[in-house]
Amino acid sequence: MNSGKVHHTGDIILKIDNIALSFGGIKALTDVSFQVRKHEILAIIGPNGAGKSSMLNCINGVYHPQDGAITFKGETRKQMRPHIAAKQGIARTFQNIALFKGMSVLDNIMTGRNLMMKTRFWQQAIYWGAAQREEIEHRKKVEEIIRFLQIESVRKTMVSQLSYGLQKRVELGRALAAEPDLLLLDEPMAGMNVEEKQDMCRFILEVNEQFGTTIILIEHDMGVVMDLSDRVVVLEYGRKIADGTPDEVRSNQTVIDAYLGVSH
Ligand SMILES: Nc1ncnc2c1ncn2[C@@H]1O[C@H](COP(=O)(O)OP(=O)(O)OP(=O)(O)O)[C@@H](O)[C@H]1O
């Protein structure tokens, strides 16, 4: 897989400063700091239990770190809240697919627009015309995403009837429906075959290129990480042990030791 990623990134969009998170006696994250530039694809890697998902959960406000600060688009918060993160333009996919399995592809992606809907239920009753126009606009955007992800043929299909790879693509579609500035992808290729992985890689790169979306992804497949990312942050036992370009990280002795299981 050679993606031919073009490296052109902008100002800092996300700053993680000295984050510490623990659950009772378990230290999930200790003093983790890194920065993400606009339009960058940043991969977070590390062995199981290293704190990767916890980091994403702090960024989108699901977990509340005991220490440190998160600055997104210039606004610093000690603790993010999920609805604020979403409103500020952070969208997320999950390690285990979190779709409405009994609903169609179209309706699932439509749920990603919820935050952007201006008219509420009681308003819809009064301003029926405005609500209808708004609905048409949202549907147009959703249809664009469906075309972009090449899932037109299954747009009316119930999600439970789709292959795992397609379900992952629909989940990406739902996140894209929110038109995020920052997209958090938790193992977007997990459980996929080679062909599905290649498709997902292509879509992630196209999202980054065409929409200018900044992306943070957690991924275990090192081939994918090396191909997709501009930079890589490596976590081990909740601490950052390296941060750099894929080439820098690949040749970093501490990283090599962590992956080969050398005790230190
Ligand atoms: N909600 C929680 N309650 C208690 N402990 C948690 C919780 N979430 C994470 N942890 C613990 O925090 C540590 C880091 O977990 P996390 O899921 O962030 O790691 P990870 O690097 O994403 O792992 P994996 O690659 O296996 O998904 C682990 O020891 C985990 O058991």
Write out pLDDT tens, residues 179-193.
999 999 999 998 889
Clarify whether residues 79 and 205 are in a common domain: yes
- Site residues for ligand 1, CB cut-off 6 Å: 23, 26, 28, 46, 48-54
Is residue 164 located within the same domain as residue 190? Answer: no
Residues 78 and 59 reside in one and the same domain: yes
DSSP class of residue 48 equals T
* 160 and 188 both lie in a single domain: no
Which domain-ending residue is among 142, 177, 212?
A: 177
Pocket test for ligand 1, best of 19, 27, 53, 239 (most atoms within 8 A of CB): 53
pTM of the model: 0.89
Both 228 and 241 in a single domain? yes
Do 153 and 37 lie in one domain? The reply is: no
Residue 185: name the closest of 237, 247, 229, 236 by CA. Answer: 229
CA distance 50 to 257: 15
Q: Whose CA is nearest to atom 14 of ligand 1?
A: 51
Angle at 189 between CA 29 and CA 260, to 5 degrees: 55
How many structural domains are present in the chain?
Answer: 2
pLDDT at res. 1: 43
Is 5 inside any structural domain? Answer: no
109 with 217, same domain? Answer: no
Cα end-to-end distance, the chain, whole Å: 34
How high is the pLDDT of residue 99? 80
Domain boundary among 114, 142, 177: 177
Residue span of the structural domain in which 51 resides:
11-89+180-263
Residues 170 and 186 in one domain: no
Return the pLDDT at 264: 44
Assess if residue 142 is contained within a domain. Answer: yes
One-letter amino acid of 261 = G
Structure tokens at 214: 């900044």
Regarding whether 226 and 151 lie in a shared domain, the answer is no
User: Which is the closest atom of ligand 1 to the Cα of 53?
Assistant: 22
Q: Dihedrals φ, ψ of 71, to 5°?
A: -110, 120
In a shared domain, residues 255 and 185: yes
Low-confidence ranges of the chain (pLDDT < 70): 1-9, 115-132, 260-264
| Nearest alpha carbon, ligand 1 atom 24 | 48
Whether residue 2 is contained in a domain is answered as no
Q: How far is the CA of 164 from the centre of ligand 1 (A)?
A: 24
Q: Which helix (H) or strand (E) holds 54?
A: helix 52-59
Residue 24: phi, psi to the nearest 5? 60, -125
Evaluate whether 40 touches 264 at the Cβ level (below 8 Å): no
Separation of CA 101 and ligand 1 centre (Å): 26
Any domain includes 95: no
Q: Ligand 1 centre from 49 Cα, in Å? A: 5
177, 199, 228 - which closes a domain: 177
Going by C-beta distance under 8 Å and a sequence separation of 6 or more, which residues neighbour residue 35?
12, 14, 15, 16
In a domain, 1, yes or no: no
132 and 78 within one domain: no
Closest CA to 103 of 170, 14, 41: 170
For residue 6, being part of any structural domain is answered with no
User: Residue 255's domain is classified under what CATH number?
Assistant: 3.40.50.300
Q: How far is 136 from 129, CA to CA, in rounded Å? A: 11
The answer to whether residues 185 and 254 belong to one domain is: yes
pLDDT at 53: 96
Per-residue confidence (pLDDT) for residue 120, from 0 to 100? 54
Residue 94 falls within a domain, yes or no? Answer: no
Site to probe by mutation for ligand 1, drawn from 44, 52, 60 as the one with most ligand atoms within 8 Å of Cβ, is: 52
Asked whether residue 47 is assigned to any structural domain, the reply reads yes
Which pLDDT score is estimated for 260? 60
